[in-house]
Amino acid sequence: MAAAATCIAVVALALAVLEPGARGLDRRADFPPGFLFGAATSSYQVEGAYLDDNKSLSNWDVYTHTQPGKIMDGRNADIADDHYHRYMDDVEIVHDLGVNSYRFSISWARIVPRGRLGEVNSAGIAFYNRLIDALLKKGIQPFVTLNHFDMPHELETRYGGWLGAGIREEFEYYTDVCFRAFGDRVRFWTTFNEPNLLVKFQFMLGKHPPNRCSPPFGSCSSGDSRREPYVAAHNVLLSHAAAVRNYRTNYQPEQGGSIGIVIAMKWYEPLTNSTEDVRAARRARSFEVDWFLDPIFFGDYPREMREMLSSDLPNFTSEEKKLLLNKVDFIGLNHYTTIYAKDCIYSPCDVGTYEGNALVYATGGNPQIGKPTAVGGYYVVPEGIEPAVMYVNHRYKNATIYITENGYSQHSSTNMVDLMSDVERVNYLKDYLTYLSSAVRKGANVGGYFVWSLVDNFEWLFGYTVRFGLYHVDFDTQVRTPRMSANWYRAFLTGDEVHEPRRADS
Ligand SMILES: *[C@@H]1O[C@H](CO)[C@@H](O)[C@H](O)[C@H]1NC(C)=O
Ligand SMILES: *[C@@H]1O[C@H](CO)[C@@H](O)[C@H](O)[C@H]1NC(C)=O
Ligand SMILES: *[C@@H]1O[C@H](CO)[C@@H](O)[C@H](O)[C@H]1NC(C)=O
Ligand SMILES: *[C@@H]1O[C@H](CO)[C@@H](O)[C@H](O)[C@H]1NC(C)=O
């Protein structure tokens, strides 16, 4: 890019930061009344206190301790953000943002440390009661995830995690305890966070516990990357359906809340206009999104998956199909990026790509589809959120959609000034919201939007090497400091002016 053009672009960015709303339709007023705006976290990523108050070890506690080499910086979330002890301060910073909702997950290992065969842990119940009550006192709606990747290690051992059918009864039991304990105050439940990524990382790529895979996807000591992800997904779907049936039958009539599921959704653009690549983009979407939502809405897996996987894809019995018909009240979408899809049926591709069994190669392209971020494969492509939302809106009959995650990562090694004056994150959020509001104007039924994340935290395989927070966290002192993006979000939500970001050292 020519120097003059760069200069103009920088000036434009600076202005945009100072005047929320100046660049297009990115004001709160562009969203319907009652729209939820929030920020999100998950239990293992922020809570710490991994041995406190009769919690059992989760699968992630054990994995990070026994195989630290699997985590980029070799670290774990024993302490993380110490949110378990600092939750009152964290409710305060949620409140400071001016949001009306906070998305967090419950740690299964805190609630029923040994599963169905053990006791309910009253200290775990008490913690989430305190958190929920503190949020409600500030007028903030709890938006509660029942499973965000972590489960008691004992259950992973007993059932092979989601691979064993016995885990369904365990999940139904654990979620029943949660509905009973918290459902009088929780209006928004989701069963699973990103089950489509969960089973791929666990059973196709073998990078999350229980660390199972087979070539060409990876080399684990055991596993079957062509079959096990689909068996695990089947158990997740039936666990989900059992929890929803229980909620509908025994809790919803009295408690009046709603229940949904959260799917990770990229938008796939065909790499070229060839019929093959256009079909590849559709196929990748089908293997990513329809895989979970088709069974929930239509009672079976999408046709493309049946054709390509044949007997590796489980079947639903007629009784299970009936169970699935309990559907959901809303769909959560975690959307970060758009990527090109290239066909691998009619032309050769690198093996071991994420899209795996769909025979699709996902690539940032050359030139790249958008600016890269600190997480490989995640590019900044704000316009992609609009077709993604429109697609789900059309296919799933105008079901209410919540964007349950959207956010921007920085390398932790970035200098302190740039970490705090996070102009790229501000522009990312602003531009994604602009295209989201465009989908709303085109008739999509969108109920809310959550930034990932409230605070920097333990980012799974990345450990602490990347930062997604609106608030910077100094992990030595646990001090939280609002970034420019936190100040921008507050200004966007309240209509106040944007203040200069406070420096962490001032
Ligand atoms: C932990 O469990 C033990 C044994 O059941 C019990 O005595 C103790 O009070 C529990 N601790 C908390 C904090 O609930
Ligand atoms: C595909 O076709 C559209 C419309 O004809 C065009 O705008 C676009 O640049 C083409 N994309 C590629 C990658 O060739
Ligand atoms: C599912 O049903 C089809 C058709 O009845 C059958 O061909 C296939 O083998 C079954 N798959 C499994 C995993 O049982
Ligand atoms: C979709 O849902 C929204 C919100 O409930 C509603 O306003 C709109 O009319 C619905 N559209 C269709 C096509 O049903």
Regarding beta strands 466-467 and 258-264, do their DSSP bridges make them parallel or antiparallel, or are they unpaired? unpaired
Q: What residues have CB less than 8 Å from 193, skipping those under 6 apart?
A: 42, 105, 145, 147, 148, 149, 262, 332, 334, 404
- Nearest in space to 146 (alpha carbons), one of 86, 100, 188: 188
Pocket of ligand 4 (CB under 6 A): 398, 443, 445
Q: Ligand 3: which of 311, 317, 318 to mutate, judged by most atoms within 8 Å of the beta carbon?
A: 311
Residue 112, amino acid: V
Q: Please give the average per-residue pLDDT across 392-414, as a whole number.
A: 98
User: How many angstroms separate the first and last alpha carbons of the chain?
Assistant: 37
Residue 7, pLDDT score: 34
Q: Ligand 3: which of 230, 300, 306, 315 to mutate, judged by most atoms within 8 Å of the beta carbon?
A: 315
Please list the active-site residues.
194, 405
Q: What's the CA-to-centroid distance between 272 and ligand 2, angstroms?
A: 7
Q: Does the pLDDT of residue 176 top 50, yes or no?
A: yes
Ligand nearest to the CA of 443: 4
pTM of the full structure: 0.93
In a domain, 494, yes or no: no
Ligand nearest to the CA of 442: 4
- Nearest in space to 152 (alpha carbons), one of 281, 44, 16: 44
Regarding beta strands 188-193 and 258-264, do their DSSP bridges make them parallel or antiparallel, or are they unpaired? parallel
In a domain, 472, yes or no: yes
pLDDT digits (tens, 9 = 90+) for 16-54: 444 444 444 457 888 998 999 999 999 999 999 999 999
Q: Which two three-digit tokens encode residue 342?
A: 């290239």
Does ligand 3 come within 6 angstroms of the Cβ of 222?
Answer: no
Pocket of ligand 1 (CB under 6 A): 53-54, 122-123
The atom number, within ligand 4, closest to the CA of 393 reads 1
In a domain, 456, yes or no: yes
pLDDT digits (tens, 9 = 90+) for 324-367: 988 899 999 999 999 999 999 998 887 655 577 899 999 999 99
Q: Ligand 2: which of 271, 272, 273, 383 to mutate, judged by most atoms within 8 Å of the beta carbon?
A: 273
Do 86 and 52 touch, CB atoms closer than 8 A?
no
Q: Mean of the per-residue pLDDT values for the chain?
A: 93
What values do phi and psi take at 403, rounded to 5? -80, 100
In a domain, 25, yes or no: no
Question: How far lies 372's CA from each of 126, 333, 369, in Å?
Answer: 42, 21, 9
Q: Does the pLDDT of residue 226 top 80, yes or no?
A: yes
Q: What's the CA-to-centroid distance between 32 and ligand 4, angstroms?
A: 12
In a domain, 202, yes or no: yes
Give per-residue burial for 70-88: e unless 16+ CB within 10 Å, then b: bbeeebbbebbbbbbebbe
57 three-state secondary structure:
coil
C-alpha span between 431 and 347 (Å, rounded): 35
C-alpha span between 58 and 154 (Å, rounded): 8
Q: Does the pLDDT of residue 223 top 60, yes or no?
A: yes
Region of 463 (left: φ > 0; alpha: ψ -120 to 50; beta: rest) is left
Q: Please give the average per-residue pLDDT across 168-190, as a whole number.
A: 98
Dihedral of CA atoms 329, 335, 339, 341 in degrees, nearest 10, equals -20
In a domain, 42, yes or no: yes
- Number of residues that this document lists for the chain: 506
- Nearest in space to 91 (alpha carbons), one of 126, 139, 48, 145: 139
Residue 445, pLDDT score: 98
In a domain, 498, yes or no: no
Residue 354, pLDDT score: 57
Q: What's the CA-to-centroid distance between 196 and ligand 4, angstroms?
A: 27
Q: What's the CA-to-centroid distance between 445 and ligand 4, angstroms?
A: 6
Does ligand 2 come within 6 angstroms of the Cβ of 272?
Answer: yes
pLDDT digits (tens, 9 = 90+) for 232-256: 999 999 999 999 999 999 999 999 9
Q: Looking at the 3D structure of the chain, how many domains does it have?
A: 1
In a domain, 462, yes or no: yes
Ligand nearest to the CA of 119: 1
Q: Please give the average per-residue pLDDT across 421-437, as a whole number.
A: 97
What values do phi and psi take at 263, rounded to 5? -110, 140
Residue 348, pLDDT score: 85
Residue 100, pLDDT score: 97
Residue 12, pLDDT score: 37
For residue 58, the enclosing domain spans 32-272+283-337+379-480
Residue 443, CA atoms < 13 Å, CB-side half-sphere: 5
Q: What's the CA-to-centroid distance between 436 and ligand 3, angstroms?
A: 40
The CATH number assigned to the domain holding 398 equals 3.20.20.80
